Amino acid sequence: MTTGRLEAFSDGVFAIAITLLVLEFGISEDTEDLGAALLHIWPSYLAYVTTFLTIGVIWVNHHQLFDLVARVDRPLLFFNTLLLMVVAFLPFPTRLVAQFLQGGDEQTAALAYGCTFIVLAVAFQLVWRWMSAGRLIREDVPQSMLDGINRSFNPGLPLYLGVTALVFVSPLASIILFLALAVFYALPGSFLVRRR
């Protein structure tokens, strides 16, 4: 299994998961006022943009990590499959936020969303830790770069835990912060840019 193959397959899953998000949108045929209905589903837009950007960021980071890899072993394949399993699952919690952010169960929906992001961060760390601890990294990659990536990973999980905990104060604020995190990681300035 070459890294090229693994990346192409992972790319496929990323691209499909990101494009399936649109299926969360739906307006019932017997809507009386379409304009009002389109405004009323604002949580759908928020959830769509947040998850879309997050998967986009994961896709970029996924590539940048696999660029460092010389060979793929069986456990890496397994951890990558776990990661893809969480990515492919994202349309479901996204839809929960879209459906319930305006109802009485907004807290549960935002909690399910946040927990999926936490599991995602853990799966991503597993991929990275195995990659860097095992001898899978290309020999020409300097230790300083690995250290830099390690440091850049440190804030991820605590941040996601914190933003998820925020659902007990404000579910909406929690989702907006997830969006802000995705925008922050997507824009230049993160370590991944400085690398190049």
Q: Which residues bind its own copies (CB under 8 A)?
A: 1, 5, 8-9, 11-23, 25-27, 29, 31, 33-35, 38, 48-49, 52-53, 56, 59-60, 63-64, 73-75, 77-78, 81, 84-85, 88-92, 95-96, 99-100, 105, 108-109, 112, 186-188, 192-193, 196
Q: What are phi and psi of 188, to 5 degrees?
A: -60, 155
Kindly tell me which of 52 and 117 has the beta carbon lying closer to its own copies. Answer: 52
Distance CA 108, CA 121 (A): 20
Kindly tell me which of 77 and 158 has the beta carbon lying closer to its own copies. Answer: 77
Write the DSSP assignment of 179-190 as a string of letters: HHHHHHHHSBTB
Q: Which residue has the tokens 């949580």?
A: 43
Kindly tell me which of 134 and 158 has the beta carbon lying closer to its own copies. Answer: 134
Least spacing, CB of residue 91 vs its own copies, in Å: 5
Kindly tell me which of 53 and 177 has the beta carbon lying closer to its own copies. Answer: 53
Q: What are phi and psi of 121, to 5 degrees?
A: -65, -40
Structure tokens at 36: 């009002």
Distance CA 175, CA 183 (A): 13
Least spacing, CB of residue 35 vs its own copies, in Å: 5
Kindly tell me which of 16 and 158 has the beta carbon lying closer to its own copies. Answer: 16
Least spacing, CB of residue 194 vs its own copies, in Å: 10
Least spacing, CB of residue 48 vs its own copies, in Å: 7
Check if the beta carbon of residue 159 is closer than 8 Å to that of residue 181. yes
Q: Which of 168, 159, 153, 57 is nearest to 106 (CA)?
A: 168
Distance CA 99, CA 9 (A): 31
Least spacing, CB of residue 113 vs its own copies, in Å: 11
